[in-house]
Structure 1
Amino acid sequence: MEVVLEMTLPRNAESAPLVRHTLDASLRGLGVGSDIRADIALALGEACANVIQHAAAGKEYEVRARMDGARCVVEVIDGGTDAEQADGERGWGAAQAPPLAEHGRGLQLMRAFTEELTIADRAHRGGAIVHFEKSLAG
């Protein structure tokens, strides 16, 4: 069975928990274990937080997730970025943040808890697409 979620969300702090809970409920329904669900929730939360805090254009962002029993593929799509964010991963904290830093570790966390992490500019539209995958096998 394949489950596909597509959500358009307002760029505000209340939207991140909503999308995390929705995706988690779908994964739980597919029988995915709690450790894997927690990894996906953490990565999704980091991606959403970055869009909410830093995307300059647009009042909304999109989250797309596809689960097929073997993998979960997630894309978080923003409508634009601050000028300092314009260089793909540069705005995502490509430089290693100090271990005790309160900010700037989102990309490191996403890399540690997922697979196939990419961040790409949206061609001809502005903004970025954060794409990550996670195996659902425990």
Structure 2
Amino acid sequence: MSIWWSLHLRREAASVSLARRLLLGTMETAGVDPDISFDLSVALSEACANAVEHGGGADAPDETEAYHVTAYLDGDCCRIEVTDSGPGFPPATVARCRPALAEDGRGLHLIAELSDHVRFRNGPGRGAVVSFDKMLKWRDDALLKVS
């Protein structure tokens, strides 16, 4: 069985906890191991916080007041993608799968450490896209456990 959801969120701090709670609730209901759920929720929070802080632009304020979160639980994998309309990542960040630890970018490093696979890229016109996935472990009483 698969579950997926997509959110269109305003670039406000409160939207970060909304996305995190939705992910945690979905994973709890499905029966995902709490440690895996926690790791993914922290990674999602970092990606959303990055979109809130850096995901807008002064040249088109109406288009940049929102960002998108999509989450897929499919089989034994969860994939999450956060997309914004900001200026995008610097080329050095996009070139590496795991960003260097610097004054800025620690959240990206944390996402990379908490997930099994991560990709930082720029959108086709503008904006940053953070996608990451992690193999799921299931509780014994899981509703959607993959055999």
- Secondary structure at the counterpart of residue 13 of structure 2: coil
Identity of aligned residues (%): 34
What is the distance in 2 between the residues matched to 1:134 and 1:12?
27
Please identify runs of 4+ aligned residues in structure 1 that moved more than 6 A.
none
Q: CA deviation at 1:88?
A: 6.4
- State the partner residue of 2:145: none
What is the distance in 1 between the residues matched to 2:101 and 2:122?
21
What is the distance in 1 between the residues matched to 2:117 and 2:105?
20
2:33 counterpart of 1:33: yes
CA contact (8 A) 2:100 2:109 kept: no
CA contact (8 A) 2:6 2:69 kept: yes
Structure 2 alignment gaps of length 5 or more: 58-63, 139-147
2:65 to 55, 59, 65: 59
What is the distance in 2 between the residues matched to 1:22 and 1:129?
20
Pick closer, same or farther for the CA change 1:49–1:28 going to 2, 3 Å: same
CA contact (8 A) 1:71 1:135 kept: yes
Pick closer, same or farther for the CA change 1:16–1:34 going to 2, 3 Å: same
- State the partner residue of 1:108: 109
**CA distances 1:69-118 after superposition (whole Å, capped 9, x unpaired):** 41110000001227xx443627xx93323xxx7x5311221111101100
- Secondary structure at the counterpart of residue 20 of structure 2: helix
What is the distance in 1 between the residues matched to 2:33 and 2:12?
29
- State the partner residue of 2:101: 96
What is the distance in 2 between the residues matched to 1:54 and 1:88?
17
User: Taking structure 2 as the reference length, what is the TM-score of the superposition?
Assistant: 0.80
Higher Rg? 2
Pick closer, same or farther for the CA change 1:31–1:7 going to 2, 3 Å: same
- State the partner residue of 1:11: 11
Pick closer, same or farther for the CA change 1:28–1:69 going to 2, 3 Å: farther
Structure 1 alignment gaps of length 5 or more: none
